[in-house]
């Protein structure tokens, strides 16, 4: 009964969304507000229906309705409440439902904010409803969440144990909010192309949307890294897996868009480029869901099969062909003669920023599809993995760090020599001094020295700007605290951006430290035996077995001491799940500002007398997460509406 | 005019991705086909030794399996046993290697399917690597001269076994 | 029923572990062997011996065959541990790192390398970053040149103080 209701709601949703898309378009074309309002009501109804679907599916999960195949696949009678909720979006069908629901939510917000507007809004509404209709269609045909299972099993299969983690609440939600968020700028860009109003309206309307989507995407990526580090048991946070890349590419082009949009706002240039970037970014989000769901490229995330890949490929093709076709159609409107005063200017810095970001996105894209290309052309399967991506992306990211230092302080239009020396002499000196100090202290890795020196240079430019601004306010007789906060709030976009930059620099610090200075070793220890790594002594005390509701667990106890300090106890484990053929590693770790201790239990002896353990001492990894927090603060600051502030 | 190149350039990318539907990223062709099979000496679950050298002159079907490999290994085990019984007097040997498995589970698997051909574990994974094994089940058909002639990823059927073995039997040692 | 199953699994796990029967009646793999010996003698605070470093470097180039996209060095799986042991053995027997890598390529094909060998068709993927940056820089250079071309408009004289104030205000814009 409930599942049929849900499926029925989806079908009604498709019809309404399709109707709304057409009505809004016709209404916009023929100038009939009544049709547009009807489309608005359809949008509200669609949101209500998709929400109902979501609640119905959640209800099926909470009541152990194993007659629904999706529920039987994801949970067992012993799955705890918490995971029963997150299991709703734990696999293919539910994830599409989540995506569709977020699209509905964003459409609702667009309706509430822009209703009554006449130029772009109706067309944007039409595009968004059309996209929702597609996702609902996917849920009806290849991936129905409410599909019945006969005969009804007595118990379910159970959630993939790797997903039994708090990351399951936050990672997909944040990531999807980011992905779907880019639909809004895309819709408005399409509206601009259709109406020919390719001026600034569409970009100023969507500025805040772009930041919000970008922020959630950043958050999703960072949480994914956190989850990989703490759950997957290999001691790393990023593997350049194809699906990780699929989320990274729109992030790169989205970052490029954030910056080049600023040029359009101020100089009315780069319209063609900005629309292309929006189309590209949205296209990459669809490409991302295609990769995750089609099984075309082997990946740790791929959780699909069947005809769904064809659906997404067709949709991707349709979107790109229509969007870029529209771009070609409106070409003349978009290319205007730009004017720059000087090559040495912030505009140039932003252009360079775009070059490196888009080059990085292209590199990641080409590397990701290259195995397919190699097979198609040569008939030989090759792998393109972490060693490749790390090597080729490093120079690109270093250039970007350098530009992060240059961009914010170099003048718009024309940077005079005076401007350059005033702003950059100090930070450049600091960077050089840092490099020298690091070298003297004994840092051997040139890459680490270079990265840290550049990061310090960029941080110094930010600090210099804050210092100058604060000093100017202090001179006006304001107290220090008020000066700083006033500065930040008055120019919240600028300083929000700076704080975000700072967050990125901290992430760079964490990445550099962990890549350059982490140590690991693997050892087989008998009871009482110890291994020394990086000044820590890890002694194997013994094994014990425990039983949880969904799995059996073997835990290794290790005493860790350093010098004369108090010992701590760490308990890495191996978890044996009924439905999984290989045991899942349960990592134990201790996080610190400079070092993380990380233990992975390997093989163990029959009688518990010996165990193999992988010991990692990772350096500076915590700064990646700290950088993420700082990034969050910066993004919050940047999107506060200007009119609300002093 | 040139502007239309932009939407057009999308087409080859789509084509490449569509090509992806036709290939299986998990299906890796083996470079060992046509090359001499790597020698091995393994101790079976019964305690006897089996070596490739001692089987020279016979057609050897080398099958890698695991008790957790469901459903493929469970499908092919009866087929392998049937084929083994049909061909054992005709200079054909079947050898099973249990990889990444627990001894008790492997023994149970052998007992459940009443496998009468020699089965051995691969304790340190060396034989698996020597044969480029990356999943289960994988089966190698080795001719009388000791060369690998066919690698089958996935379950072996009676027809496949018969077809390949008959061909190889027809060849001189 | 399921509880009994889990308990049996636990016992089996503890008793059986993932250890394997020794082929010969030698001591089980876990207690003896070069790995344990090396572990017992790893000195405090020092970098690992050259051998371990080389093992890691080779392992980092190879793809773990049972995982998705992880290297043999990073992977926590059983098979990867066995592959690391094979690498260690071969290096200890005197093989050069390239030879060990080639051994795996001979068995598995080019697919087992995590970065494509830099020759022939594969050069395309290695060239992609360089080419895209160069193309991007070229486009920007052309655009900048076109956009900074001197314009023919006569400049109206502007009061220098006003110009300075305008410049300062522009600079302070976000």
What are C115-121's contacts with CB under 8 Å, separation 24+? C115/A383, C115/A384, C115/A385, C115/A387, C115/A388, C115/A391, C115/C61, C116/A370, C116/A374, C116/A382, C116/A383, C116/A384, C116/A388, C121/A374, C121/A377, C121/A378
Which residues of B fall within a CB distance of 8 Å from C29? 123-124
Q: Do A387 and C114 touch (CB under 8 A)?
A: yes
- What residues form DSSP beta bridges with A584? A575
- Cβ contact B125–C82 (<8 Å): yes
C:67-126 residues touching chain A, CB 8 A cutoff: 67-71, 74-78, 81, 84, 109-116, 121-122, 124-126
Are C86 and B32 a contacting pair at CB < 8 A? no
CA–CA distance, A357 with A353 (Å, rounded to integer)? 6
C103 → chain B, closest CA residue: B130
Predicted ipTM of the assembly:
0.89
**Residue A362 is encoded by which pair of tokens?**
């292209």
Q: What is the pLDDT of residue A98?
A: 92
H helix and E strand count, chain B: 5, 7
Provide the percentage of residues in chain A whose pLDDT is more than 70.
Answer: 96
Interchain pair C48, A519: CB under 8 A: yes
Q: Are A103 and A184 in contact (CB under 8 A)?
A: no
Are C107 and B28 a contacting pair at CB < 8 A?
A: no
> Which of these ranges, A380-389, B35-44, C61-70, C116-125, has the smallest mean pLDDT?
C61-70
Closest residue, chain B, to C17 (C-alpha):
B102
Beta partners for B60?
Answer: B93, B142
End-to-end Cα, chain A, rounded Å:
56
B30-169: what CATH class? alpha beta
**pLDDT of C15 higher than 60:** no
CB distance B28–C109 less than 8 Å?
A: yes
Separation CA A637–CA A515 (nearest Å): 31
Report the distance separating Cα A21 and Cα A9, nearest Å: 18
| DSSP code of residue A186 | H
pLDDT of residue C159: 75
What local confidence, expressed as pLDDT, does residue C155 receive? 59
Best B4, B5, B20 member to test A by mutation, with max A CBs in 10 Å, is B20
DSSP state of A479: -
Q: How many CB pairs under 8 A join B and C?
A: 65
- Residues of B engaging C, defined by a Cβ cutoff of 8 Å: 28-32, 42-43, 100, 102-104, 121, 123-126, 128-135
Q: What is the pLDDT of residues B40-92, one digit of tens each?
A: 999 999 999 999 999 998 999 999 999 888 888 999 999 999 999 999 888 89
Both structure tokens of A621: 């990894």
| Secondary element (H or E) of residue B48 | none
Nearest Cα neighbor of A346 from A275, A266, A401, A429 is A266
pLDDT at A445: 87
The CA distance from C66 to the nearest CA of chain B, in Å, is: 6
Among A514, A557, A561, A552, CA closest to A533: A561
Taking only the tens place, the pLDDT of each residue in B122-156 is: 988 999 999 999 888 999 999 999 999 999 998 89
For B129, name the nearest residue in chain C, comparing CA atoms only: C107
Q: Are A638 and A492 in contact (CB under 8 A)?
A: yes
- The pTM (predicted TM-score) of the whole model is 0.88
Which residues of chain B does A381 touch, with a Cβ-Cβ cutoff of 8 Å?
25, 28-29
Over the stretch B8-41, which tens digit does the pLDDT of each residue have? Answer: 999 999 999 988 888 776 778 889 999 999 999 9
Confidence (pLDDT) at A3:
82
* Chain A: residue whose CA lies nearest to B100: A582
Q: Which long-range contacts (CB under 8 A, 24 or more apart) does B43-46 make?
A: B43/B120, B43/C21, B43/C23, B43/C24, B44/B118, B44/B119, B44/B120, B45/B98, B45/B103, B45/B106, B45/B107, B45/B110, B45/B119, B45/B120, B45/B121, B46/B118
In chain A, positions 492-521, which contact chain B (CB-CB < 8 Å)? none
**Cβ neighbours of C53 in A, within 8 Å:** none
- Facing A324 at nearest CB: one of B7, B66, B70: B7
Question: What distance in Å separates the CA atoms of residue B25 and residue B17, rounded to the nearest whole number?
Answer: 13
Closest Cα in chain B, distance from residue A317 (Å): 7
Q: Exposed, middle or buried by CB within 10 Å (0-12, 13-18, 19+), for A165?
A: middle
Subunits with 3+ Cβ pairs within 8 Å of A are B, C
Residue B30: list chain C partners with CB under 8 A: 108-109
pLDDT tens for each residue of A535-564: 899 999 989 888 887 778 889 999 999 887
Is the pLDDT at C40 greater than 50? The verdict is no
Residue C2 has pLDDT above 80, yes or no: no
Q: Which of A309, A325, A369 sits opposite B16 (nearest CB)?
A: A369
- Which chain B residues touch C105 with a CB distance below 8 Å? 31
- HEC-encoded secondary structure of A317-372: HHHHHHHHHHHHHCHHHHCCCCCCCCCCCHHHHHHHHHHHHHHHHHHHHHHHHHHH
Nearest CA in chain C to A529: C40
CB-CB neighbors (< 8 A) of C21 in chain B: 43, 103, 121, 123
C15 interface with A at CB cutoff 8 Å? yes
* Record: contact A370-C116, CB cut-off 8 A: yes
Identify the burial level of A593 via C-beta atoms within 10 angstroms of its C-beta, where 0-12 means exposed, 13-18 middle and 19 or more buried: exposed
Contact B16 A320 (CB under 8 A): no
pLDDT of residue B113: 92
Q: Which element (helix H / strand E) includes B119?
A: strand B119-121
Farthest CA pair distance, chain A: 83
Residue C156 is predicted with a pLDDT of 66
Does C121 contact A388 at a Cβ distance shorter than 8 Å?
A: no
Higher pLDDT: C160 or A57? It is A57
- Does residue A578 sit at the B interface (CB-CB below 8 Å)? no
The confidence score (pLDDT) of residue A391 equals 93
Q: Which of C6, C48, C128 is closest, CB to CB, to A521?
A: C48
Higher pLDDT, A13 or B100: A13
End-to-end alpha-carbon separation of chain B, Å? 67
- CA-wise closest residue to A53 among A166, A140, A165, A171: A140
- pLDDT tier, C46 (very low <50, low <70, confident <90, very high otherwise): very low
Token pair listed for B167: 């061909």
- According to the model, what pLDDT value does residue C152 have? 59
Burial of A44 (C-beta count, 10 Å sphere; 0-12/13-18/19+):
middle
Interchain pair C45, A535: CB under 8 A = yes
Residue A153 is predicted with a pLDDT of 78
| pLDDT < 70 positions in chain A | 161, 295, 298-306, 337, 579-581, 642-646
Contact list in C for residue B31 (CB cut-off 8 A) is: 105-109
Predicted confidence (pLDDT) per residue in A98-118, tens digit:
999 999 999 999 999 998 888
Cα of A177 to nearest chain B Cα, Å: 26
């Amino acid at each position: 009964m409930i599942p049929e209701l849900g499926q029925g709601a989806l079908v009604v949703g498709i019809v309404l969304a399709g109707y709304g898309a057409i009505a809004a378009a016709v209404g916009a074309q023929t100038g009939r507000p009544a049709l547009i309002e009807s489309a608005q009501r359809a949008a509200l109804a669609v949101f209500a229906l998709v929400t109902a679907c979501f609640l119905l599916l959640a209800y099926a999960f909470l009541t152990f309705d194993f007659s629904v195949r999706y529920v039987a696949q994801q949970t067992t009678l012993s799955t705890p409440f918490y995971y029963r909720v997150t299991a709703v979006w734990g696999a293919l069908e539910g994830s599409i439902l989540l995506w569709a629901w977020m699209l509905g939510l964003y459409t609702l917000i667009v309706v509430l904010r822009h209703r009554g507007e006449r130029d772009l809004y109706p067309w944007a509404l039409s595009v968004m409803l059309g996209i929702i209709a597609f996702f609902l269609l996917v849920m009806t045909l290849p991936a129905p969440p409410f599909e019945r299972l006969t005969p009804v099993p007595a118990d379910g299969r159970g959630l993939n144990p790797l997903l039994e983690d708090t990351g399951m609440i936050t990672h997909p939600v944040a990531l999807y909010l980011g992905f779907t968020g880019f639909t809004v700028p895309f819709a408005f860009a399409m509206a601009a192309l259709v109406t020919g109003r390719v001026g600034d309206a569409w970009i100023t309307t969507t500025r805040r949307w772009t930041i919000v989507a970008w922020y959630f995407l950043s958050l999703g990526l960072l949480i994914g890294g956190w989850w990989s580090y703490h759950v997957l048991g290999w001691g790393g946070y990023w593997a350049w897996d194809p699906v990780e890349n699929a989320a990274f590419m729109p992030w790169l082009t989205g970052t490029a868009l954030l910056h080049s949009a600023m040029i359009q706002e101020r100089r009315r240039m780069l319209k063609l480029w900005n629309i292309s970037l929006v189309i590209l970014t949205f296209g990459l989000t669809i490409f991302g869901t295609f990769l995750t769901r089609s099984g075309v490229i082997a990946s740790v995330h791929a959780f699909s099969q069947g005809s769904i890949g064809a659906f997404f490929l067709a949709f991707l093709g349709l979107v790109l062909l229509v969007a870029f076709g529209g771009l070609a159609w409106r070409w003349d409107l978009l290319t205007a003669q730009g004017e720059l005063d000087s090559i040495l200017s912030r505009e140039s810095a932003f252009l360079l920023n775009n070059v490196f970001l888009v080059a990085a996105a292209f590199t990641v894209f080409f590397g990701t599809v290259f195995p397919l290309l190699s097979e198609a052309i040569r008939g030989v399967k090759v792998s393109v993995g972490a060693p490749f991506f790390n090597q080729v992306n490093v120079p690109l990211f270093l250039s970007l760090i350098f530009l992060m230092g240059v961009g914010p302080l170099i003048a718009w239009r024309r940077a005079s020599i005076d401007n350059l020396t005033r702003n950059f002499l100090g930070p450049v000196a600091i960077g050089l001094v840092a490099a020298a100090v690091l070298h003297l202290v004994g840092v051997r890795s040139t890459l680490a020295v270079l990265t840290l020196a550049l990061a310090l240079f960029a941080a110094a430019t930010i600090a210099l700007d804050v210092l100058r601004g604060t000093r100017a306010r202090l001179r006006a007789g304001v107290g220090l605290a008020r000066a700083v906060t006033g500065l930040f709030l008055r120019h919240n976009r600028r300083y929000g951006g700076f704080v975000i930059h700072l967050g990125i620099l901290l992430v760079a610090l964490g990445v550099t430290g962990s890549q350059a200075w982490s140590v690991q070793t693997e050892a087989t220890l008998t009871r009482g035996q110890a291994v020394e790594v990086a000044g820590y002594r890890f002694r194997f005390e013994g094994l014990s077995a425990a039983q949880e509701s969904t799995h059996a667990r073997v835990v290794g106890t290790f005493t860790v001491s350093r010098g004369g300090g108090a010992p701590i106890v760490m308990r890495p484990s191996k978890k044996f799940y009924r439905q999984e053929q290989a045991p899942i590693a349960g990592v134990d770790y201790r996080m610190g500002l400079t070092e993380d201790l990380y233990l992975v239990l390997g093989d163990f002896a029959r009688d518990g007398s010996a165990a193999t353990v992988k010991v990692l001492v990772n350096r500076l990894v915590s700064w990646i997460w700290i950088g993420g927090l700082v990034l969050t603060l910066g993004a919050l600051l940047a999107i506060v509406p200007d009119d609300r502030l002093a | 005019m040139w502007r239309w190149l932009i939407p057009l350039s999308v087409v080859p990318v789509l084509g490449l991705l569509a090509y992806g539907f036709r290939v299986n990223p998990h299906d890796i062709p083996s470079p060992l086909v046509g090359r001499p099979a790597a020698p091995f000496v393994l101790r079976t679950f019964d305690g006897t030794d089996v070596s490739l050298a001692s089987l020279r002159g016979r057609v050897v079907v080398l099958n890698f399996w695991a008790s957790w490999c469901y459903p493929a290994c469970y499908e092919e085990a009866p087929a392998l046993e049937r084929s083994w019984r049909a061909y054992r007097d005709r200079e054909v040997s079947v050898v099973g290697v249990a990889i990444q498995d627990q001894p008790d589970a492997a023994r149970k698997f052998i007992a459940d399917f009443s496998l009468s051909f020699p089965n051995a574990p691969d304790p340190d994974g060396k034989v698996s690597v020597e044969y480029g094994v990356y999943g289960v089940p994988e089966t190698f058909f080795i001719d009388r001269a000791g060369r690998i002639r066919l690698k089958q990823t996935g379950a072996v059927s009676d027809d496949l076994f018969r077809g390949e073995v008959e061909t190889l039997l027809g060849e001189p040692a | 029923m399921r509880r009994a199953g889990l308990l049996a699994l636990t016992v089996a796990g503890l008793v059986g572990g993932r250890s394997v029967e020794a082929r010969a009646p030698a001591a089980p793999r876990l207690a003896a062997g070069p790995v344990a010996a090396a572990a017992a003698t790893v000195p405090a605070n020092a970098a690992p011996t050259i051998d371990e470093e080389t093992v890691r470097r080779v392992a980092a180039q190879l793809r773990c065959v049972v995982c998705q996209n992880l290297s043999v060095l990073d992977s926590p799986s059983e098979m990867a541990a066995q592959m690391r042991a094979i690498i260690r053995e071969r290096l200890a027997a005197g093989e050069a790192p390239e030879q060990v890598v080639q051994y795996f390529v001979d068995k598995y094909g080019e697919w087992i390398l995590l970065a494509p060998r830099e020759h022939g068709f594969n050069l395309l993927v290695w060239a992609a970053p360089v080419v895209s940056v160069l193309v991007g820089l070229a486009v920007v250079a052309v655009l900048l040149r076109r956009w900074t071309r001197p314009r023919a408009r006569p400049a109206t004289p502007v009061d220098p103080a006003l110009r300075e104030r305008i410049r300062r205000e522009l600079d302070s814009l976000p």
